[in-house]
Amino acid sequence: MPPRLDPADPPAAARASTALVSTRGNRRTLEFQPGDIQSEMLLSAPHALVLEYARAMMCFALFVPHPRHILMVGLGGGSMVKFCHRHFPDTRITVVEISSEVIALREQFRVPPDDARLRIVHADAADYLACADALPDAVVDVILVDGFDATGMPESLGSERFYADCRRALRAGGVLVANFLSYDPARTQLAARLAAAFGGRVCDFAGIAGNNHLLFAVRVCAGVDASSLPALRMQRRVMRRRGLGFGLLNRLLARAVVAWLAWRPARARRMQT
């Protein structure tokens, strides 16, 4: 049965949490617990990526530079969706968020309204991915898993079934980026499940995001020549040294990727004028 997508009909597993929005000077933050910042926005530059881990997640572009469709699990304050909507002008973006309370904050965080390229779906992402074959535009190039609430990452977003469903939703050469907390006692087990679902084609960038540990998994399909997949070649290169080998260099790499992505559409607009 397809998941419920009506914003007026909240999923049964909706998060029992209170979203706290604070504005101090030029900064607006979203927290589920005081002091635990989930998302941060500069009022003077609402499309900028402020948090280190959000910049690091944009390293998916090293694997898939020109995605046709990005699926995001978790809206939060919308930092990544705003950045991608602005800097991937030819890409469709679907965001799956379980909390109606969080979705209701989209205007405060200046998340653009749904349009031909952007759609925010009110649903449990585990249910949504389980039924991906029955949903429109189900085949995607990039999946960004960043689903947290006041208690951490829901168990359903780290299950064997969830990772298998994510793999099935990806095109050959597509990449999944999973955000774990480095101090999560279940992190090793979660990483093992992800690696099993993707046949070991998983890598990370050492120290790229502080207390956030990001894993990048690439889908390879039977019958597809793996040597023809740029994302798999990148995964193998990253795996050798965990990116550039050092946390500082990898954090600089993430900043460079973000700057490159912001430069691309701006350059294209200049060339058209």
Query: Mind telling me the catalytic residues?
Result: 146
Q: In what order do the strands lie in the sheet with 27-33?
A: 20-24, 27-33, 36-42
How far apart are the C-alpha atoms of 221 and 228, rounded to whole Å?
A: 12
How far apart are the C-alpha atoms of 264 and 267, rounded to whole Å?
A: 5
> CA nearest 266: which of 69, 110, 86, 66?
86
- The token pair that represents 115 in the structure block: 């349009």
- The token pair that represents 94 in the structure block: 């679907």
Q: Write the burial class of residue 95 (CB in 10 Å: 0-12 exposed, 13-18 middle, 19+ buried).
A: buried
